[in-house]
Structure 1
Amino acid sequence: MFLEKLCNSIGPSGYEKETGKVIMSELKVFTENVNLDRMGNIVVHKNGGDNSTKIMVVSHMDELGLIITAYNEDGTLRFSPLGNVDKNSLPCKTILIGHKRVPGVIGIKPIHLQSKEEVNKSLSCENMCIDIGASSKEECKKIISLGDFVVFDNNFFYFGDNLLKGRALDNRIGCSILMELLKEDYKCDLYGVFSVQGNIGQRGVYAAAYNIDPDIVIILDAVNSTDGLEVPGYLKTIRLTDGPAIPFKGGESIFDKDIVESIRNKAISMGIPYQKVGDTQEEGELKAVRLTVDSCKIAAVLIPCRYMNSNISVCSRVDYENTLVLLKSYLEEL
């Protein structure tokens, strides 16, 4: 499965070259209309006819990670997050540093030495370090450079009842669906965009939207499922295996009602389950497109994902397949 290759590739925000090479290699099998812009976005253009309406389907290829910021005298390392990483999930996780994949462990003060106040307070990166086994600052400097990226040491795996786990399912699962969509021919003027730096301000989308100037944008991304342990019933609005979420609103921005309704109606006509969502709380690519392109209609199709913003996530293969079938059918009728 192409998704496995994507999730096992390394590409945190700002360092997406390895993941980009995996995507480019797959694209070259079936198309030559591929462009790499200055930001590093991969853009595929499929012109299916005389229809002047430009449709952009965008999915970001980067993953959450960390970046090395300083050395400690004892040979450990300081770091900062690349993206909205849940800092409480970081202690004692195994990681890989840089292109050489230097192994390490995220360390923290042992719990039996912590005060009551330290145990109860939220963690910050200042409370943690990365241990690579070096015994001094000088030894560590020979192995690690400031600015080296850090990713979590987890591989893609199938488990349970048609479930998938992986380090970078947000948003490699969207990229995998976009790849499958681009293998088909459509009668619309379609641009598929694998964007960069999605976890640090959607910077790649700004550039892609400005260059393409689309009329319609469909955001293909992951969204936090809310069906976890001890979550009150009224908050369980997005569930794994219940189909893609198709929202009306994201943060302070509103998706185009007609496009949202047309995608939802397509799902109903095909018997594909989907989840009605009022608000995703975060704007993501919606804000980037809205601020860049004038009078552009925007909608989103989001794949539920458990444990986002941590070292590993879980998605449903059924949700993946339903999202792919839904979007393929929708694009075929445009």
Structure 2
Amino acid sequence: MLLKELSNANGISGFEDEVRDLIKSNIPSYRTDILGNLISSKEGKGLKVMLAAHMDEVGLIVRDIDDDGYVLFKKAGGIDDRVLMAKRVVIGKNKIDGVIGSKPVHLLKKEDLKKVVEYNKLYIDIGSENKKETEKLVKIGDPIYFATKFKENGYNFIGKALDDRVGCSIILDMLKKDFSFSLYGAFTVQEEVGLRGARVVAHDIDPDVCIVLEGTFASDTPDIKEELQIPKFGEGPAVTIADRTVICDPKLVKFFEDTAEKNNIPYQIKRPFTGGTDAGAIHLTKRGIPSGVIALPSRYIHSPASIGNKEDYKNMKNLIYRILERIESEKGDFYGH
């Protein structure tokens, strides 16, 4: 399962090399730009359709090493401090093993037990005895990744970086299909720190339409009110109407919905104005690019481990294919072109 390999690959923002190399090994032709975006295309006639997914994942980066050899870090991307304590990580190209540590619970004051430990009070223990020993293995600026391995679990799968290796894996599948229009697969960098790669790649390709493939949160957990449990796990891919970075083109949203309904593909609408995606940068490029977002709802994204649903993944892949198939059949009539 290619998704397994993609999930297991390491690539925080700005350090996407391992993910990029894996994707390169699964496509016949490609090019990269200055920022590191990876672009693969199948040239055709008429429309230029771009599928976009980001390669980077949330993680950490080394900011300092203290005198006792502990590694101090900053966050790369949006991570809740609550999910960091006692997690296994690997550091740098040599994947030095470590554990995120904090003061033992036995030594905490009663009032401290009710507080979340802020990340700048945590540290990574790699088992070295002093700063000099750590500096032989780790340097400031090294990327830090969660040491989570992908696993299939019945109807579901568990792994890190489902946001957005899910999108990358589906684009790779779509690039194996043949269409008469020009299809571009854009694997972007630095989405998690400001949609940076998407700005460059959209300006480069200048597509007629863009579909962003994403991983989003599933909110049907016990600590969320039922009326706010949108999207839900196991009820199909989520179509975005609006998030904090984009109001998706209404005609494109309707096109997605109609395609799903005509093909009996379950889908749901993502809760408006939550999160952000590469579409936020892409839709503002040049004269404006009609952009839409379809995402896999996953529990616990932006953490060391997320859970995805196999049926949701299958239905998302099918919906993307049916959308491209419909663009093919409607040719110039698609989206008023």
TM range (shorter): over 0.9
Distance 2:66 2:269 in 1: 49
Distance 2:115 2:180 in 1: 56
**Secondary structure at the residue paired with 1:179?**
helix
Q: Is the 8 A contact 1:156 1:167 kept in 2?
A: yes
Within the candidate set 79, 99, 102, 2:96 is matched to 102
Distance 1:231 1:215 in 2: 39
Distance 1:187 1:332 in 2: 10
Q: Is the 8 A contact 1:195 1:205 kept in 2?
A: yes
Distance 1:85 1:276 in 2: 24
Aligned to 1:155: 149
1:1-334 equivalences in 2 (<5 Å): 1-28=1-28, 32=29, 34-49=30-45, 51=46, 53-160=47-154, 162-251=155-244, 253-334=246-327
CA shift for structure 1 position 97: 0.6
Gaps of 5+ in 1: none
**Secondary structure at the residue paired with 2:133?**
helix
CA shift for structure 1 position 42: 0.9
Distance 1:119 1:284 in 2: 36
1:223-254 CA distance string (max 9 Å, x none): 10001122211111111110000121112531
Distance 1:283 1:144 in 2: 33
Distance 2:2 2:286 in 1: 32
Q: Is the 8 A contact 1:94 1:104 kept in 2?
A: yes
- Greater CA drift, 243-252 or 200-209: 243-252
**Secondary structure at the residue paired with 2:270?**
strand
Identity of aligned residues (%): 34
Distance 1:61 1:252 in 2: 19
Change (3 A) 1:293 1:117: farther
Distance 1:289 1:27 in 2: 24
1:149-170 CA distance string (max 9 Å, x none): 110111110003x201111111
Aligned Cα root-mean-square deviation (Å): 1.3
TM-score when normalising by structure 2: 0.94
TM-score when normalising by structure 1: 0.95
CA shift for structure 1 position 323: 0.8
**Secondary structure at the residue paired with 2:200?**
helix
Distance 1:117 1:293 in 2: 54
CA shift for structure 1 position 191: 1.1
CA shift for structure 1 position 269: 0.7
Amino acid paired to 1:47 = E
